[in-house]
Structure 1
Amino acid sequence: MIIGIGVDVVDLARFTRAAERTPGLLTRLFAESEQLDGDVKRPLPSMAARFAAKEALIKAIGDSTGVRWHDMAIVSDGLRNPSFEVYNSLAGIVADRGISSIHLSMSHDAGVAIAYVVAEGDG
């Protein structure tokens, strides 16, 4: 059963300006593991897609109360498919809402990044 759906779009130029203007922004929004692709710094369009994913997850769960940026991280499997790991208060919120699976799709092209999240439960 679908519990929630979220989508978010980020303007790449605006995100890049914000990241350049505010040096600590990426550290405030993302775990160090999210900022790196192996040993290489992840490009800003990919970071913008990850920001859109975090925003889309908040929409899918229905409320941002008690959620912090570092309570979620986007990880990739061996085929580079993205998914979420949730921690701390967000893990509790997800459990309380009966969410057993979170599906994520992200992309960036033509000046925008987009992410789509489906939160699914057993009930």
Structure 2
Amino acid sequence: MEFKMIFGTGVDIVDISRFERFVHDGNVALLQRIFTPLELDYCAAKKHSAQHYALRFAAKEAFLKALGTGLRDGLSWKDMEVVNNQFGKPEMRLTGRALQLFAQAELSKSFLSLSHDGNFAVAMLVLEK
């Protein structure tokens, strides 16, 4: 029997109004710095796009907390991408430096949960070793 253990957990909460301002002001450069083209397309297609941007930003912050590194050592916001599986469940897709650090720590899986209520978006992420 193979035993798995939790390497780290991360949680982040974001005020959706921050992203409402970015969207309203047309701050495309900021959004393009944080989100992948797939995330930008997904969020822009939604009626309440700011809510979806906020959720994805919270997920990226939660991943950094679970990994224990913060955004340094060559990590980029775009190295982390929130995607939905065929059932709509959000998952974290890693590339670049994030994927390297994930592999170096011998991690096997991440578990992501997203939720929003009122003006807040929250993400919880668990990394398994």
TM-score exceeds 0.5: yes
Match of 2:40 in 1: 35
**What amino acid is the match of 1:58?**
L
Match of 1:111 in 2: 119
Match of 2:20 in 1: 16
Normalised TM-score (structure 1): 0.90
Match of 1:51 in 2: 57
The alignment partner of 1:36 has SS state of: helix
Give the ranges of 4+ consecutive aligned residues of structure 1 lying more than 4 Å apart after TM superposition. none
Shift of the alpha carbon at 1:58? 0.3
Q: Determine which structure has the larger strand proportion and give its number.
A: 1
The superposition leaves residues 61-91 of structure 1 with CA deviations (integer Å, 9 ceiling, x where unpaired) of 0002221011111111111001011111111
Q: Are the counterparts in 2 of residues 74 and 84 from structure 1 also a CA contact under 8 Å? A: yes
Query: 2:58, 2:29 → 1: CA distance?
Result: 18
Q: Are the counterparts in 2 of residues 46 and 108 from structure 1 also a CA contact under 8 Å? A: no
Q: Are the counterparts in 2 of residues 83 and 103 from structure 1 also a CA contact under 8 Å? A: yes
Identity of aligned residues (%): 37
Cα RMSD, aligned residues only? 1.6
Q: Between 14-23 and 106-115, report the one with greater CA deviation.
A: 14-23
Kindly indicate whether residue 103 of structure 2 is the aligned counterpart of residue 98 of structure 1.
no
Query: 1:37, 1:71 → 2: CA distance?
Result: 17
Kindly indicate whether residue 15 of structure 2 is the aligned counterpart of residue 7 of structure 1.
no
Structure 2: which 5+ residue stretches go unaligned? Answer: none
Query: 1:37, 1:54 → 2: CA distance?
Result: 16
Structure 1: which 5+ residue stretches go unaligned? Answer: none
